[in-house]
Amino acid sequence: MNKKVNVLVACGAGIATSTVVMKKVEELFAENNIDVNLIQIKIAEAGSRQEDADMLISTTVLPTTYSIPTIKAMGYLTGLGVDKLNQEVIDTAKKIQAEAN
């Protein structure tokens, strides 16, 4: 059984753009049969929440570096480079699962 991937989805306030991205990545993970736990947060919370997470998807500038893989998800809002972004999200999740097995 594959590991459930804990994914932080962040934006500046943890409300608007992260909600849009949550929907998109939720569908993406479902289409690729990847079991995830999505957690919507403010980017300011990411530092304290990274210990319990496997990856961070953010629509805002990252204020620091993190111990988990980070993905900048502006493409989900602009529509630019979505295919490449989707591939990066899936590849990262699959790598996390492979390392856990």
Domain ranges of the chain: 5-96
pLDDT at 73: 94
pLDDT at 88: 98
Give the count of alpha carbons within 13 A of 95, CB side only: 10
pLDDT at residue 2 above 90? Answer: no
CATH tag, 5-96: 3.40.50.2300
Tokens 């590991």 map to which residue? 3
Classify residue 9 by its DSSP letter.
E
pTM of the model: 0.94
Q: What is the C-alpha to C-alpha distance for residues 67 and 76, in angstroms, rounded to an integer?
A: 24
The answer to whether the CB of 5 falls within 8 A of the CB of 54 is yes
Mean pLDDT of 13-29: 91
pLDDT at 33: 96
**pLDDT tens digit sequence for 35-86:** 999 999 999 999 999 999 999 999 998 989 999 999 999 999 999 999 999 9
